[in-house]
Structure 1
Amino acid sequence: MFRRKLAILAVAVLAFAVLALGVGAKAMDATLIGLGVVGVLFAAAIWSSLRISSFLQVFTGIFGVEYVLFGGVVLLGQLGLWPEALADFMVSRSLPATVAVFGILVWAASHLRVIRSITDIADLYFNDREVKPAQIWPFGVVRMRENRLATIALVSLVLINQVQVGINVRLSFFNRDWFNAIQEKNAADFWSLLYTVFLFWAVIYIVIAILEYVVQSGLTIRWRQDLTNRYTTHWLDDGTHYRMALTGEQADNPDQRIAVDVDRFIELTYGFSITLLATVTTLVSFAIVLWNISASFTIPGTEIVIPGLLFWTALVYASVGTLITHFIGRALAPLNFQQQRFEADFRFSLARLREYAEQVALLEGERAERQIVMGRFGNVIDNFWRIVNLRKRLLAFTAFYGQISPIIPYVIAAPFYFLGKVQLGVLTQTAGAFGRVEGSLTFFINYYVSLADYKAVIDRLTTFGASIRAARALGREPPRLDIAQESGPDVRLDDVELRLPGGRAIVSVPQLTLRAGESALITGASGSGKSTMMRALAGIWPYGEGRISVPAGASVMLLPQRPYIPMGTLRLAVSYPALSGVYTDAQLRDALVAARLPELADSLDSQENWSGRLSGGEQQRLAIARALLARPDWLFLDEATSALDEFSEAALYKMLAEKLPETTVVSIGHRTTLQAMHRRHLQMQPGADGRFTPGDAEQRATA
């Protein structure tokens, strides 16, 4: 829909540009001719923008509308049709062409690699067409497509920002007239300007500043909610998080990238896009003021007149400063990237130490852990000092640069003031306009450190997205491991070869059938691929080829040796992976009692660190309770009872057979006592090529 409107806007801009060319040619007006030429180029840029980022299209659309509106005002003025009563609202003749140039620059910037990296992430939100509720004053709760709401909010913020710049320009003229009144001791003008001009525009500025904060807050929090949901979903979907851990791709600390980097990206993207727009708008607005003031200024000490002397001085001064700043600080972005990674590694090591506190205490591994933790913190410190040393040099230059900047306009304009050619108000307006122009031109200098941090955030989110895509692509291209849904009741493996992430083949299965209703035990030496084969049967192992046929619609559950227990209430821990409310309290209590955890049956709403409170055996029994609730068709137990004594283990297997008579149990274990609890025994047999093949060891009656 927005692309269609953009196409209509391109036609409107072209039509107005042709009109401006015609009027300009007839009146021999170079300004209107230039306005028309720029408009034609801008119309072509808008048409080309139909294929660029949705985020950038918003800015292109704003500039297109402003070109037509401001150009219309200029054209009416040229034709003498602009009302005399609105003379104070006549815009500068160069303004329409300026906004057209802005639009062309947006189109050009969309082809830069770094800008594409930014917009690829931003467009995840600005392309969201899902209809969602939003609280909008004074309309209450409305339902609207998210991308439309985002566009409205962004357009509002851009317009508010431009109004703020316009108010600053108006106040610069107030400042000129006010100081002139002070110089002339004109009390009437002094108080009139204060009450009728300054207070009026100051109140408006405050009101729109509050409005800007509210709209900005709403946009950024919804933006963050959307991106956080997207990255979390993509990371967790289809076992991607597990595959990423296997691949070892460049995606360290996904928690930080989702929790911290997404927030920083939104904050910096909004901040820099709006700030940069304000900077350019300020530059153009005050450059016109500065040019007009210094139109007849001469180089100090000479009679050489250079039109717009102060503008050219600001341009050269800022350009030299920008080049020097980049030369000093170009290594800051990679250092910031490293710093974020080291900080995340340090936090992760502390969190992992807390998770394994009991194991560390039992092994008296505190000294080793301290060495590991402080070693990672040492990386934080070393990289921090590299940043400090670089920023020290950067700060030395920018501080020196900043001290000199305010003096330059006075040095150039003071001789004209002393000669009586300009008044005090003009002198102060000159200094103010020079400061605004020079400040705009030194955007790169002022925000260099933040830009380096922004680049690091972009790189982290970009590599995170690339890692997700790489992990999702695993096992998608042939030769691959195909999981086929078939009508038969059994699980069958045909010509299956399983490999480790490094590429080494570890399991070879020419043909194997696991019959429904026949419990099976898989044994073999450590490293023989038992767990790998079980993960392939569960559908999460991506390395291999062949075909695994599973019953259509059959549910599968795999219980590992060390079960995962989420943070929260015991109810959540027992219900997992089902959502809250799926099981009744009676079902949860019955499952805990059957799994030999009766003492926990009345603690469903207790919120504790259950993975730390429960012993290894209790955690495994909790996982068995989950299986009782889920009632899967196939239950794979990967040494899921290894922490239990033999009596408890036998009792649980007997209970599973009674409670889940329709469930086929396939176990991995090393105890010989397990053989009596299964009807079939498969043993991983080594081959001459180093691969292991499951084969029947013996048959036993059901225990």
Structure 2
Amino acid sequence: MKFLGLAVALAAIVCIVAGAAKGSVAVLGLSVDPTMIGVGLVGLALALATVRAARISTFLRIFSKLFAVEFTLLALAYAAGAYGLWPAALSEALPPASLCVTIAVFGLIVYGISFIPVIRQITRLADLYFDATEDIDVPTGLFGIRRMRERHFATGLIMTLVLINQLQVGISVRLSFFNRDWFNAIQNKDQAAFWSLLLTVFLFWAFIAIASNLIEYFFDAVLKINWRRWLTARYSGVWLNDGGIYRMGLIGDGADNPDQRIAEDVRNFILDTYSYSITLIQQISTLVSFSLILWAMPAEFVFPGTNIVVPGLPFWVALAYSTFGTWITHLIGRPLVRLEFAQERYEADFRFSLARLREYAEQVALLRGERSELGILGGHFRDLVANYYRIVKRVLKLNTFISFYGQISPILPYVIIAPYYFLDKVTLGQMSQVAGAFGRVEGALSFFIDRYRSVARYKANVDRLQTFSEALDKAGTLGKTPPHIEERHQSQQDLTLRDLSLRLPDGREIVRAPALGFKSGGATLVTGPSGSGKSTLFRAIAGIWPYGQGVVDLPQNARVLLLPQRPYVPSGTLKTAATYPAPADTYSDEQVREALKLARLAPLADRILEDENWGQRLSGGEQQRLAIARAILDKPDWLFLDEATSALDEKLEAEIYAMLRQHLPATSIVSIGHRSTLIAMHDWRVEMNAGDDGVFVPAATG
């Protein structure tokens, strides 16, 4: 950024020197060009902002770089024109001072808004993508596929889109002058000028505008889908990394409905961030460009009822009118941010309740719980409806004001300019141009009035994504900083626990194991009353329980598999469910069929390629035996069964244990169970005994 800042400063100095050396306005005895000096002064301000932009957001820095380059080139071209160095054949393309000032204003605004807290909140999320270091393959048409950094690709797309939007504003300005000359031709009944302007000027620029819109759409779509792809993969990866999905469910705050955060909030954030960043630049460009048109009107506008000349009176009216409208809109609509945030949560909670009800449809039907479920769903929906009506009430107030504001806006410029037209101080074309420019300026200044509710939704969406990011970070560090449960790999064969203390999320200690060992090469049964921390102990050994401290010593390179009481059955084919979490092609069809037969699921062995909702098709006992088939395929060194056979009858349970001992002879088995018949199926036993302080201590009993 220092190099760009220096380039901007040099271009600004060139303009100042040129303006001081060549001009028509006398200042302190010198003939100077105040316009050119003004361009140079605003350029110096931009140079300072460009240098300091090295410390702002990566996303905003992209715009700072682009505007610095644009100003440097345009200012030098403008200075060249002043010295007669610009080619006469390209006189129509010589950039005006207004364009140089517009670009400089862009750069200064970008630097200024980088310090606004809400902008910082947004750019922290946007920077995740624009700082990406991964490489991607980019199709380039005739040049084949090119490999480049993701952030360079994204930066190139953003810059291209900004340039296209600036071009579109330039086309609008050119058409504004066409509109003036065309209406003057109508007023003067100049048929030749009428058709010449229509067939040469209008058709040419209209074609350019259409082409730019099509190109913009393509690059716009490419940027959005790639941004969403990367950000979705990033959030999904963190959520599903190293037990993060489990820890997210433990921390609570900011972690509700992660499916919606990843699927909907990410999409909405990208669409709105792109829209507001690019659209705001377009609006600022429109504001500056058309404000200069209002200032440049040859008529001397006087303040109504006086003889006081007010340069650029239509501009000041547009500014005052829009400022008043924006202030009133903010006062009315401010509560919408909070209400929209709450509405998103109510919608997600209701949708989650419906999905959960579908998942447990059989249990609800067996318990005749339909009426109770209707009450639960009704409660969620009542919250949704109540908050929705609060939004409706607020939006009605907002829309009432906006409607009145919008009805007055189109006629206001004609009310201002018409008296001068009737006095022949302006032509019909000039009145038309002023009205159009006024509408553009007022529209740019009223940007937030027209979009206040969508801005409120955007802010709520940003807040939700920010809290989700913070929850992901919190879940990622949960249980990772000392004192914590440390997992070590030692050379011994047994699995041992040392100075282990397990706590609940509220801080209460539930299990204390000063020294405990599980012998390898056999089977150990862990027993104890419900709520004694048996499952928590297993999760600590598996490495996903974050609350506590101590050491879990695992044999070197040992592979651990824990089967819960209620196994997870993913969607897809039965083979996919049987091999989970390994990909389906990890094992042959014959290996999967054999595993299902050993798990006493022989009737399903020929259906492994069928795509069904197996989570609902299989009974609880069948799902547990499907998990046993996974263990047969995986062949872990240590297999932890957390009541993983509780849905089986005693005879079938005994057969499963005998089969595991026979077909997985190198696997050490540790089970949780309450049936007395399990004792005979294990070699050793660990009992969870309650101490005087209510903390359970596991101890070997035989």
Shift of residue 139 of structure 1? 3.1
Shift of residue 294 of structure 1? 6.3
Could you tell me how far apart the structure 2 residues matched to 1:254 and 1:670 are? 35
Could you tell me how far apart the structure 2 residues matched to 1:605 and 1:188 are? 76
Q: CA contact under 8 A between 1:295 and 1:309: conserved in structure 2?
A: no
CA deviations on 1:19-74 (whole Å, 9 max, x unpaired) are 22333333433333332332222222212212222211110011101111111122
Partner in structure 1 of residue 647 of structure 2: 643
Partner in structure 1 of residue 475 of structure 2: 471
CA deviations on 1:511-548 (whole Å, 9 max, x unpaired) are 00112113100000000000000100111101001111
Could you tell me how far apart the structure 2 residues matched to 1:299 and 1:329 are? 33
Q: CA contact under 8 A between 2:527 and 2:687: conserved in structure 1?
A: yes
Q: Would the alpha carbon gap of residues 184 and 22 (structure 1) be closer, same or farther in structure 2, given more than 3 Å must change?
A: closer
Matched, 1:276 2:280: yes
Partner in structure 2 of residue 12 of structure 1: 7
Q: CA contact under 8 A between 2:601 and 2:625: conserved in structure 1?
A: yes
Shift of residue 225 of structure 1? 0.3
Matched, 1:237 2:241: yes
Matched, 1:601 2:596: no
Q: CA contact under 8 A between 1:300 and 1:412: conserved in structure 2?
A: no
Within 5 Å, which residues of 2 pair with 1:36-75? 36-75=40-79
Matched, 1:516 2:520: yes
Report the secondary structure of 2:136's partner residue.
strand
Shift of residue 419 of structure 1? 1.2
* Letter matched to residue 190 of structure 1: F
Q: CA contact under 8 A between 2:489 and 2:555: conserved in structure 1?
A: yes
* Letter matched to residue 2 of structure 2: A
> Does 133-142 or 283-292 show the bigger shift?
133-142
Shift of residue 138 of structure 1? 4.1
Could you tell me how far apart the structure 1 residues matched to 2:524 and 2:300 are? 96
Aligned residues: 693
Partner in structure 2 of residue 105 of structure 1: 109
List gaps (5 residues or longer) in structure 2.
23-31
Partner in structure 2 of residue 194 of structure 1: 198
Report the secondary structure of 1:104's partner residue.
helix
Matched, 1:447 2:447: no
* Letter matched to residue 11 of structure 2: F
Could you tell me how far apart the structure 1 residues matched to 2:172 and 2:101 are? 21
Q: CA contact under 8 A between 2:14 and 2:76: conserved in structure 1?
A: no
Matched, 1:555 2:559: yes
Superposed structure 1 runs of 4+ greater than 6 Å apart: none
CA deviations on 1:379-429 (whole Å, 9 max, x unpaired) are 111111100000000000001001001111111111111111211111111
Partner in structure 2 of residue 298 of structure 1: 302
Report the secondary structure of 2:644's partner residue.
coil
Report the secondary structure of 1:694's partner residue.
strand
Could you tell me how far apart the structure 2 residues matched to 1:558 and 1:412 are? 78
Partner in structure 2 of residue 3 of structure 1: none
Q: Would the alpha carbon gap of residues 261 and 294 (structure 1) be closer, same or farther in structure 2, given more than 3 Å must change?
A: farther
Q: Would the alpha carbon gap of residues 295 and 547 (structure 1) be closer, same or farther in structure 2, given more than 3 Å must change?
A: farther
Matched, 1:485 2:480: no
Could you tell me how far apart the structure 2 residues matched to 1:210 and 1:118 are? 28
Report the secondary structure of 1:144's partner residue.
strand
RMSD: 1.2
Q: Would the alpha carbon gap of residues 575 and 294 (structure 1) be closer, same or farther in structure 2, given more than 3 Å must change?
A: farther
Within 5 Å, which residues of 2 pair with 1:393-542? 393-542=397-546
Partner in structure 2 of residue 121 of structure 1: 125
Match of 2:18 among 23, 28, 51: 23
Q: CA contact under 8 A between 2:184 and 2:429: conserved in structure 1?
A: yes
Could you tell me how far apart the structure 1 residues matched to 2:489 and 2:298 are? 80
* Letter matched to residue 10 of structure 1: G
Report the secondary structure of 2:513's partner residue.
strand
> Does 178-187 or 26-35 show the bigger shift?
26-35
Could you tell me how far apart the structure 1 residues matched to 2:674 and 2:584 are? 35
Could you tell me how far apart the structure 2 residues matched to 1:31 and 1:426 are? 24
Matched, 1:348 2:352: yes
Partner in structure 1 of residue 25 of structure 2: none
Match of 2:374 among 355, 370, 387: 370
Q: CA contact under 8 A between 1:520 and 1:679: conserved in structure 2?
A: yes
Shift of residue 153 of structure 1? 0.8
Q: Would the alpha carbon gap of residues 501 and 294 (structure 1) be closer, same or farther in structure 2, given more than 3 Å must change?
A: farther
Matched, 1:574 2:578: yes
Could you tell me how far apart the structure 2 residues matched to 1:486 and 1:697 are? 25
> Does 202-211 or 22-31 show the bigger shift?
22-31
* Letter matched to residue 493 of structure 1: L
Question: Scaled by the length of structure 2, what TM-score is found?
Answer: 0.97
Report the secondary structure of 1:661's partner residue.
coil
Could you tell me how far apart the structure 2 residues matched to 1:532 and 1:545 are? 13
Match of 1:145 among 139, 146, 149: 149
Could you tell me how far apart the structure 2 residues matched to 1:127 and 1:294 are? 49
Shift of residue 299 of structure 1? 2.3
Match of 1:631 among 615, 630, 635: 635
> Does 689-698 or 256-265 show the bigger shift?
689-698
Q: CA contact under 8 A between 1:474 and 1:542: conserved in structure 2?
A: yes
Could you tell me how far apart the structure 2 residues matched to 1:431 and 1:22 are? 38
Partner in structure 2 of residue 676 of structure 1: 680
Question: Scaled by the length of structure 1, what TM-score is found?
Answer: 0.97
Q: CA contact under 8 A between 2:525 and 2:672: conserved in structure 1?
A: yes
Could you tell me how far apart the structure 2 residues matched to 1:200 and 1:24 are? 35
Could you tell me how far apart the structure 2 residues matched to 1:38 and 1:202 are? 33
Shift of residue 82 of structure 1? 2.1
Q: CA contact under 8 A between 1:597 and 1:621: conserved in structure 2?
A: yes
Q: CA contact under 8 A between 1:19 and 1:36: conserved in structure 2?
A: yes
* Letter matched to residue 606 of structure 2: D
Could you tell me how far apart the structure 2 residues matched to 1:531 and 1:280 are? 60
Q: Would the alpha carbon gap of residues 508 and 293 (structure 1) be closer, same or farther in structure 2, given more than 3 Å must change?
A: same
Could you tell me how far apart the structure 2 residues matched to 1:409 and 1:139 are? 52
Could you tell me how far apart the structure 2 residues matched to 1:686 and 1:524 are? 9
> Does 504-513 or 110-119 show the bigger shift?
110-119
Shift of residue 252 of structure 1? 0.9
Q: CA contact under 8 A between 2:299 and 2:425: conserved in structure 1?
A: no
Shift of residue 295 of structure 1? 5.7
Matched, 1:86 2:81: no
> Does 144-153 or 354-363 show the bigger shift?
144-153
Q: CA contact under 8 A between 1:294 and 1:307: conserved in structure 2?
A: no
> Does 587-596 or 41-50 show the bigger shift?
41-50
Q: Would the alpha carbon gap of residues 57 and 477 (structure 1) be closer, same or farther in structure 2, given more than 3 Å must change?
A: same
Could you tell me how far apart the structure 2 residues matched to 1:38 and 1:301 are? 36
CA deviations on 1:299-323 (whole Å, 9 max, x unpaired) are 2343221001000110011000000
> Does 93-102 or 506-515 show the bigger shift?
93-102
* Letter matched to residue 303 of structure 1: N
* Letter matched to residue 378 of structure 2: M
Quote the sequence identity (%): 55
